[in-house]
Amino acid sequence: MNGFEVKEIKAEETYRVRHSELRKGRPLEECKFAGDERETTIHIGGFYQNQLVAVATFLKQDHADCGFQNAYQLRGMAVVKEHHKKGFGKILLTFAEALLLQKVIPCIWMNARIGAVDFYKKLGYGTIGNVFEIPKIGMHYVMFKKLY
């Protein structure tokens, strides 16, 4: 969409959107993920009219069930509610996939909230295994996509 720009950002820039969209009403500390500051971690921000409205973080982390080494885990994917369904999430994730492919990363996986599963499916992600609960957050599926 016109006026939507995607680029790499710093960990601390993600916290505000993570907080409002993923950890509302909870301590800001819960918006910091283990590994946020690791050198291999990649944070992507989406800006609309120069305001940060979308974030996602990619951490170097394998998942036994995905069967890939050197995989990345997507965490903290969120678009500010008033901007949902404008294509911003899709643009951001597609940008991140291209970036990871350039780095020869074979696979992205995530613990996907039930409400986001169909969004990820539209972008080519598939579920593995059964639904499971993450305490205080809700039901999830592991989903993954092979990048090459």
Ligand X SMILES: CC(C)(COP(=O)(O)OP(=O)(O)OC[C@H]1O[C@@H](n2cnc3c(N)ncnc32)[C@H](O)[C@@H]1OP(=O)(O)O)[C@@H](O)C(=O)NCCC(=O)NCCS
Q: Is 29 in the site for ligand X (CB under 6 A)?
A: no
Residue closer to ligand X by CB (options 39, 99) is 99
DSSP state letter for 55: E
Q: Is 87 in the site for ligand X (CB under 6 A)?
A: yes
Kindly report the CA angle at 92 between 81 and 85, in degrees rounded to 5?
35
**Options 9, 14, 15, 22; binder of ligand X; rule CB under 6 A:** 22
Residues 6+ apart with CB under 8 A from 1: 48, 86, 87, 88, 91
Q: Is 88 in the site for ligand X (CB under 6 A)?
A: yes
| Residue whose CB is nearest to ligand X in the complex, by number | 89
Decide: helix, strand or coil at residue 109.
Answer: strand
Q: Is 31 in the site for ligand X (CB under 6 A)?
A: no
Euclidean distance between CA atoms 110 and 116, whole angstroms = 11
Binding interface with ligand X (CB under 6 A): 21-22, 77-79, 84-90, 110, 112-113, 115-116, 118-119, 122
